[in-house]
Amino acid sequence: MGDILVATSGYSYDDWRGAFYPEELPKAEFLRYYALFFPFVELNFSYYAMPKASNLRSMAARTPSGFRFSIKAHRSLTHEPSGSWRSDAAEFASAAGALADGDRLAAVLVQLPYSFHHTPDNRGYLAALLDALRPLPLVVEFRNDEWRGDRVYDELDRRGVGVAMVDRPELPGLPAVEERVTGDLAYLRFHGRNADAWWNGDATSRYDYLYSPEELAASAPRLRRMAKGGNLLVAFNNHARGNAVRNARELKELLGG
């Protein structure tokens, strides 16, 4: 069985002071401190602002050599594609390549919105996008259950692309909780189970959830099964008030460190 690497989605939240970061720690030192406790991190800023190679190299230099980054694809590639998406993809791939060249890139996370339906046009676009981002290690997260099925998973596997499994509220239309691994990239994201705010909340309230020890323990067998073929990346996205850090550390302890 491979290693189960547990971390969080994002690290630079001000409300983690006191809950995780020392109150007096300068924000410029957050990443260095974070890397003392976790083996990788999901970078969220790259969704909002196109990343720069120089910035990513600087981030890598502040962490140990074994530390890895999973970087979220820019919104111009997933949520707001335009006629210039190919140039955006090239710019993003060039920046992310700086991490890959230094053996610091765990994955590029292509997170697609619920509005990205399983249509011929969208299937064609996704195929073209994945081609444009090769040979970076890619993981796709679907937010719409229309994409669940063997034909989709088999195609991702053929392309060597991973699929991100999700733990989320039990709501119609969202992807079912599964254990699929494609492309030798096992990935699972804990979004919380806050059903009341999922459709109406913002980026904080939607994921404002603290998993109980019982919920984490119930997830452990699934994680071990997913890790049978290799390493599994697990990211907690329930970042409000440091919940992600607390749950990530609890899960690591539950899994034996």
pLDDT digit string, tens, across residues 157-187: 999 999 999 999 999 999 988 999 999 899 9
d(CA 203, CA 128): 28
pLDDT of residue 177: 85
Residue 73: how many other CB atoms lie within 10 Å: 28
The answer to whether 102 touches 60, Cβ cutoff 8 Å, is yes
Of 41, 60, 14, nearest to 237 by C-alpha is: 41
**Which residue, 90, 32, 88, is CA-closest to 64?**
32
Contact in structure between 104 and 64 (CB atoms under 8 Å): no
pTM of the model: 0.95
E-state strands within the chain: 4-8, 40-43, 68-72, 105-111, 138-141, 162-167, 186-190, 232-236
CA-closest candidate to residue 20, choices 39, 38, 43? 38
Report the alpha-carbon distance of residue 106 to residue 93 in Å, rounded: 14
For residue 80, the model assigns a pLDDT of: 96
Domain borders along the chain are 4-254
- Contact at 8 Å (CB) between 142 and 148? yes
Q: 154 is written with which tokens?
A: 């088999």
Other C-beta atoms lying within 10 Å of the C-beta of residue 30: 19
Say if residues 210 and 165 touch (Cβ distance below 8 Å): no
Q: How many helices (H) and strands (E) does the chain have?
A: 10, 8
Q: Closest by alpha carbon to 139, among 107, 181, 175?
A: 107
Q: Which residues of the chain have pLDDT under 50?
A: none
Can you identify the CATH homologous superfamily of domain 4-254?
Protein of unknown function UPF0759 (3.20.20.410)
The gap from C-alpha 42 to its chain's centroid, in whole angstroms, comes to 5
